[in-house]
A = this chain, B = another copy of it.
């Protein structure tokens, strides 16, 4: 076991990565919209620590895929599809974050690790994490 049984988990990982940027962007956009009511290219450049050019081109792809809308020099908005993805991504991210903290990991580390882990957590695992965190923090302890 353990070795050589996995048909190809790697294809799944590649698929996870293909949707990762969309998930992180719409999640970030939604968060910025909440606390600043307007989202601009530079906000995302700061958040992701990339150049504004990278943000521009990413936003183009997201617009092509109908997650966001924007106009030249205008702010960035979410489509309904974008809002749905943002909501789901935020929920999953928060569950993973809470889970890591419940596991006993420091806040700083939990924040860092959850940013990558979130994209590789299946529904089944997410449920297990949720349950675990609930048992740890929920009402007891």
Contacts and interface: CB of A to CB of B under 8 A. Distances in A.
Interface of A: 1-6, 8-13, 16-17, 24, 31, 34-35, 47-49, 94, 97, 100, 103-107, 109-117, 119-122, 124-125, 128-129, 131-132
Nearest to A94: B2
A124 B111 CA distance: 12
12 contacts: A3-B31, A3-B35, A6-B111, A9-B111, A9-B112, A10-B47, A100-B128, A104-B131, A109-B122, A109-B124, A116-B120, A117-B120
Given A8-B49, A35-B4, A103 B115 contact: no
Nearest first, the 9 closest Cβ-Cβ pairs linking A and B are A116-B120, A9-B115, A13-B116, A8-B49, A109-B124, A9-B112, A6-B111, A10-B48, A117-B120
Query: Is the contact region of chain A dominated by helix, strand, or loop, or is it mixed?
Result: helix
Q: Which of A13, A104, A112, A124 gathers the greatest number of chain B CB atoms within 10 Å? A: A112
